[in-house]
Copies of this chain bind each other. A is one copy, B any other.
Amino acid sequence: MKVEYINPFIESSQSIINQTTGLSPILGKVYIKKAPYTGKNVLVLIGLIGDIKGSVVISLKNELACKIASAMMMGMPVPELNELAKSAISELCNMILGNTASIFYKNNINIDITPPTVLTGENINLTPSESTVVCVPLHLNDDTIEIDISYKEN
């Protein structure tokens, strides 16, 4: 795990979540987990191509996803994760990764990102192609968003 490859994700996620929701996520201890691993029940997947190649999975519980979607939509009540709320979460993740790519670019590392795919379900088990996954936990509202990064250098 190279710090210069992980820091842009941390910097970007904290800053974009704060800008879009007004909430201030607190960084937990970054750690390595081995695939396969179990995700929470709302997952957003975005692929990475370029100088590093891999995928990012943003994983959170349904209730937290509703709270974040509500905060993004000026406090509009979001009692369940409907399509509008999923679209807000999807756009949040797209902005986080887009901003991450900009930070990489300033550091002379070129990456391009795929459009996000939102998945919901139960007991979702993930196996990225790289078995080492760097997990960045962000604590928010007594709950945690996990940003799971797996990549290889090109």
Partner-B contacts on A (CB < 8 A): 36, 45-49, 53-55, 57, 83, 86-87, 90, 94, 112-130, 152
- Given contacts A117-B126, A118-B126, A119-B126, list 17 more A-B pairs with CB under 8 A: A45-B47, A45-B55, A45-B117, A47-B55, A49-B49, A55-B114, A55-B117, A57-B117, A83-B127, A90-B127, A117-B127, A117-B128, A117-B129, A118-B127, A119-B119, A119-B127, A120-B124
Chain B hits for A126, CB < 8 A = 117-119
Interface class of chain A by DSSP: strand
Distance between A81 CB and nearest chain B CB, rounded to angstroms: 10
Distance between A50 CB and nearest chain B CB, rounded to angstroms: 9
Chain B hits for A124, CB < 8 A = 119-121, 124
Nearest neighbor of A123 in chain B, beta-carbon distance: B121
Chain B hits for A119, CB < 8 A = 119, 124-127
